[in-house]
């Protein structure tokens, strides 16, 4: 089973979480993009995850797989955000890098 949609979904949910004022304060990163930029990046990642799910699972099972992977990606994010908000957001950056890296064909 391909996991790119789940990784991209986690990254997009982390971007959406970082666009809230509470997490921007709690994460305490020095320089952050604007809220609109983070939300735009989150939408782009969600669209890319939906496209990949439909591409991998077909037009009938793809949307169902996409919704399931977004739900599954949200669970660890919520659990991590409640305890370690900065770690959850750094993990979101890592999953974005891995998920986008897996989309690039090799050879």
Residue pLDDT, tens place only, 9-38: 999 999 999 888 887 777 767 788 888 998
Amino acid 107: pLDDT: 58
Amino acid 30: pLDDT: 75
Amino acid 1: pLDDT: 65
Main-chain dihedrals φ then ψ at residue 106, nearest 5 degrees = -105, 130
CB-CB neighbours of 76 under 10 Å: 13
Query: Between the CA atoms of 101, 102, 105 and 107, what dihedral angle is there, to the nearest 10 degrees?
Result: 90
Kindly report the average pLDDT of the chain as a whole number. Answer: 89
What is the helix (H) or strand (E) element at residue 94, kind and residue range?
A: helix 85-103
Amino acid 9: pLDDT: 95
Low-confidence ranges of the chain (pLDDT < 50): none
């Amino acid at each position: 089973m391909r996991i790119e949609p789940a990784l991209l979904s986690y990254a997009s949910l982390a971007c959406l979480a970082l666009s809230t004022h509470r997490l921007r304060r709690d994460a305490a990163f020095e320089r952050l993009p604007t809220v609109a930029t983070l939300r735009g990046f989150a939408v782009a990642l969600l669209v890319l995850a939906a496209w990949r799910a439909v591409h991998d699972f077909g037009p009938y099972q793809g949307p169902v797989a996409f919704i399931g992977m977004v739900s599954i990606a949200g669970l660890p994010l919520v659990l991590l955000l409640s305890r370690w908000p900065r770690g959850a957001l750094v993990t979101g950056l890592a999953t974005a890098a891995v998920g986008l890296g897996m989309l690039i064909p090799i050879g």
